[in-house]
Structure 1
Amino acid sequence: MSLLEVRELSRHFGGLAAVNNLSFIVDEGEIHGLIGPNGAGKTTTFNVISGFYKPTAGEILFGGRRISGLRPSRIAARGVVRTFQATTLFQELSVFENVLIGCHMQSQVGPFGALLGTSRRAERASEVRAAEILEFMGLGDRRDDETVNLPHGHQRALGIAVAIAAEPKLILLDEPFTGMNPEETRQMMVLVERVRSQGVTILLVEHDMQAVMGLCDRITVLSFGELLAQGTPIEIRSDPAVIEAYLGTV
């Protein structure tokens, strides 16, 4: 069953078509890879899906409802949450405090909640949930560390933990393996699978082909903003057009 549908999507910047007439489907419960050479339009596609850019043409459906053109906050409220290539964390805060902020954004307790004591109950519930998320992501023993002192791999894991705090149905992971050594990559692959096991669908932009081929159920390949190929990892690995345009140069 499809969760996300991208239909004939285009995004132009002046005379440049960063994405051109792109269509693909992400099924519920899968890990779906979005790959291609630098400048292929992957991050622009993420930015349109998550509401940071409005499409020039086409539409995006999530759970059968149109989300293209909505504000990022409204798209996130429907269950589409993204991470970024550059880790966007509060470096001066603790690991626990970063995840707690994500939980607070989800709880959205207003002033009447404060008067009725709801906010105190929500605060306690957020603290419990933040602790559970950190344990789930293997960061429980780092909860009191300042984020700035975390190793690169742990910072990436924390970014996903903050995204999980928003209780997403779909996470858009933007190059989560960038800059990792082989051991960090292996650990992150385990974490991504663990997130999927909780019923979260994942759309993944990544250049690390070991991670992509090892994780993804299906892959969509872009080239110059257009669809080049779609299929399983085995099909993509053996596709002559993909090999010529991308895999053969890695």
Structure 2
Amino acid sequence: MRPRHLLYVLLALLAIAPALLPTRYVLLLDYVGVAALVALGVVLLTGIGGLLNLAQAGFAGVGAYVTALFTTQTDALPGGLAWLGGSPWLALAAGLLLTLALAALLGALTVRLPGPYLALCSIAWGLALPYAFGVLGGHGIDGIAPIRVAGVALDTADRMYYLIWPVLLVVLWAQRNLLDSRQGRAMRALRGGCAMAESMGVNSARLRFAILLIAAAQACIAGWLYAHLQRHVDPGPFSLRMGIEYVFMALVGGAAHVWGALLGAGLFTATGQWLRDTLVRLQWPFAGDGAYGDLGRYGGLDIALFGLVALVVLSRARDGLWPILARRLPLDREDGKVNMAAEPLPKRPLPPRGDIILEALRVTRRFGDRPANHEVSLSAEAGSILALIGPNGAGKSTLLDLLSGVDTPSSGAIVFMGDAVTGRGPRHYAELGLCRSFQQACLLPERSVLDNTALGAHLRGTHGIAACAGHADRREEARLLAEATRQLERVGLGDCLHQPAASLPPGRRRLLEIARALAADPCLLLLDEPAAGLRATEKTELAALLHKLRAGGMTILLAEHDRDFVMELADQVLVMDAGAITVRGTPAEVRAHPALRAAYVGSVR
């Protein structure tokens, strides 16, 4: 069975479910849909973007309380807002605006900070928002009007089902489109480290901010639906504990998969209802009344059970349950076809051969009192290969980090393409035409070789998040994937387009990084130990590729341990020792210089 056929079967079952199931189970499906909407935001935040926000339930509460207040307490609204009263749809718009404003404030405070600052701030928000809801609505707000669509009141579980699930499926479709696009690859790159993402031209702070806003908006819509489904709101379902539970849903279902959010929400909602019903039958004193949606009110047993389930599942299935289930579905999986007839992407004009395109002027980098680089000066000419050699600890990789904007010099200046770029960050270098590989291969291990390479072409696309979510980027996406395929074939990886990057041996991962860098169409290519891990034949093929790139006008700066590889390849060689350049010249001049031997084996007295 093809995946789309299984999807059609699922959609058909969802369409007829209210006619086949008792109201009790339709109501349960309604709550699954609401929870899945919030969990989808957690997937985007945590599983894709590597962010942890425990205030998702609080953002759902904003949507719920805004619509509750606007539809039940019209007389209490300020004069300028009275016109909103009574309309759930206008209340949704108002709730989204308020939610986005709060999420923007949270993002402005945290997205540029390293470490767990978002998680810590979201804990504070998750604790504070329920108290704010209590102030606004006391112990709860009753009598919320039903939503009306085309004059029909959605006042039953069956009717709300046909609003909740279409909304969920549209959001799921849009999020899946987004994650399979240029912008989605950039989002996934955030988990690989901001240095790698920024070196590909990704604005990591802006993208983290956008992810936070999208997830908050999804939670707000879920809260709005929840309020009109329950016709009552109180602070309980929007507490920090519920925020943690939504994270559990995503993790157990599969935090990096949109279908994992649906699976996790279904498991947790059904388990929660079973626990609630069981405690009511046992006359547990904290069980509540057993009503659907009466979440988080049974003495902490729910969160303890869910935590135990998450621990057991994640100890056995680190990526959650969805990948395991997907592998067992009877599907005929076909690798996506790349349209090689797609219009080629425009090429960057290369600078005239012989022009100085990169200069380091007395660059020093200190870590405490220890200089890793000391007053290093160098220049790279267009259309040439410049090589750095030296023993381990000589400062080669540190210098490449400085020259690519990943790190900032303690003193000195760097000029690239005539622009003083010192301290500007790797994204600015990428925009000017510099792309690089890393000493330790920085890849998205679970993504395909093709996806990893297409990430390098990020700056060559133009469509934003909304266009990607709406699948309006199909033509551009075809061009990006075709370019990525050409670069993979160029480095000899054309036979493994759809393999996970993690399945490649170390040497081929180096080649994958080079293909990704070439997909950016750079004028200057920085390579950190590109021959490490390659077999002799692969080194010969890599040398031939680099010769061909140089002949085409590209400039290459590489740091390498393999002296024989460098001497046969480079136009100019710089020998580094103890953070300083001790020898510079042609390969023949450097090979004959006694300082080369001294750098590697020490001087002989």
Establish whether TM, by shorter chain, passes 0.5.
yes
Number of the residue aligned with 1:242: 596
Q: Tell me the residue number matched to 1:170.
A: 524
Instruction: Provide the TM-score with structure 1 as the length reference.
Output: 0.91
**CA distance in 2: counterparts of 1:167 and 1:182, whole angstroms:** 27
Q: Residue type matched to 1:197 in 2? A: A
Equivalent position SS for 1:142: coil
Q: C-alpha deviations, 1:156-213, integer Å up to 9, x for none?
A: 1111001111121111100011122322222222232233334321101000011110
Distance 1:145 1:199 in 2: 32
Counterpart-to-counterpart distance in 1, 2:601 and 2:567: 11
Q: Distance in 2 between matches of 1:173 and 1:154?
A: 14
Q: CA deviation at 1:52?
A: 1.7
For residues 44-94 of structure 1, what are the alpha-carbon distances to aligned partners after superposition, in whole Å with 9 as ceiling and x for unaligned?
111111112111111011122111111111111111111111111122122
State which of 559, 564, 567 in structure 2 corresponds to 1:210: 564
- 2:491 is aligned, of 125, 134, 137, to 137
* Separation in structure 1 between the aligned mates of residue 469 and residue 602 of structure 2, nearest angstrom: 62
1:117 to partner: Cα distance: 8.2
Compared CA separation, residues 179 and 130, structure 1 to 2 (3 A): closer
Counterpart in the other structure of 1:66: 420
Cα distance in 2 for partners of 1:164, 1:203 equals: 14
How far, CA to CA, are the matches of 1:35 and 1:14 in structure 2?
A: 25
Matched with 1:19 is 373
Matched, 1:222 2:576: yes
Candidates 537, 542, 554, aligned match of 1:183 = 537
Distance 1:118 1:5, change over 3 A: farther
For the 8 Å contact 2:375–2:412, the answer to whether it is kept is yes
Measure the CA separation in 2 of the matches of 1:111 and 1:86: 30
- Matched residue type, 2:481: E
Q: Which residue of 2 aligns with 1:91?
A: 445
Detail structure 1 runs of 4+ shifted over 6 Å in the superposition. Answer: 115-118
Deviation of the 1:237 alpha carbon: 0.2
Percent identical: 39
Matched to 2:464, the amino acid is G
Mean Cα deviation higher: 230-239 or 38-47: 38-47
The residue aligned with 1:153 is 507
Contact 1:100/1:127 (CA < 8 Å) preserved in 2?
yes
Instruction: Identify, as 1 or 2, the structure richer in strand.
Output: 1
- In the TM superposition, what whole-angstrom CA distance separates every residue of 1:203-224 from its partner, at most 9, and x where no partner exists? 0100001111011010111111
Aligned twin of 2:407: 53
The answer to whether 1:76 aligns with 2:451 is: no
Give the residue type in structure 1 aligned to 2:410: T
Q: Which residue of the partner structure matches residue 120 of structure 1?
A: 474
**Number of corresponding residues:** 249
Q: Distance in 1 between matches of 2:527 and 2:375?
A: 22
1: CA distance, partners of 2:465 / 2:513? 29
Q: Is the 8 A contact 2:371 2:579 kept in 1?
A: yes
Q: CA 1:223–1:168 in structure 2 vs 1: closer, same or farther (change >3 Å)?
A: same
Query: How far apart are the structure 1 equivalents of 2:376 and 2:447?
Result: 40
Range 207-216 or range 149-158, more displaced? 149-158
The whole-number CA distance in structure 2 between the counterparts of 1:80 and 1:247 is: 34
Q: CA 1:115–1:157 in 2, change beyond 3 Å: closer, same or farther?
A: closer
Higher RCO, 1 vs 2 (CA within 8 Å, ≥6 residues apart): 1
**Deviations 1:18-44, CA, capped at 9 Å, x for gaps:** 111111111111111011122111111
Displacement of 1:14 in angstroms is 0.9
Change in CA separation of 1:66 and 1:247 when aligned onto 2, cut-off 3 Å? farther
C-alpha distance in 1 between matches for 2:465 and 2:501: 30
Partner of 2:455: 101
Q: Does 1:192 align with 2:546?
A: yes
CA distance in 1, matches of 2:450, 2:383: 28
Instruction: String of CA shifts for 1:83-124, please: whole Å, max 9, x gaps.
Output: 111111122122112112222353142257669986232112
SS at 1:141 equivalent: coil
* Partner Cα separation in structure 2 for residue 176 and residue 113 of structure 1: 36
TM-score (norm 2): 0.39
Equivalent position SS for 1:51 = coil
User: Relative to structure 2, which stretch is displaced further, 134-143 or 43-52?
Assistant: 134-143
Moved more, 202-211 or 85-94: 85-94
SS in 1 for 2:444: coil
SS at structure 1 position matched to 2:455: helix
Partners of 1:237 and 1:247 within 8 A in 2:
no
The one-letter code matched in structure 2 to 1:176 is: P
- Structure 2: which amino acid aligns with 1:163? A
Conserved 8 A contact 2:508-2:534: no
Between 1:1-10 and 1:88-97, the stretch displaced more is 88-97
Q: Secondary structure at the match of 1:246?
A: helix
- AA partner of residue 428 (structure 2): R
- Offset, 1:126: 0.8
User: Is the partner of 2:568 in helix, strand or coil?
Assistant: helix
User: In 2, Cα distance between the equivalents of 1:58 and 1:33?
Assistant: 21
Conserved 8 A contact 2:431-2:459? no
Output the CA distance in 2 between the equivalents of 1:16 and 1:153: 33
Contact 2:364-2:409 within 8 A present in 1 as well: yes
Letter in 1 for 2:487: I
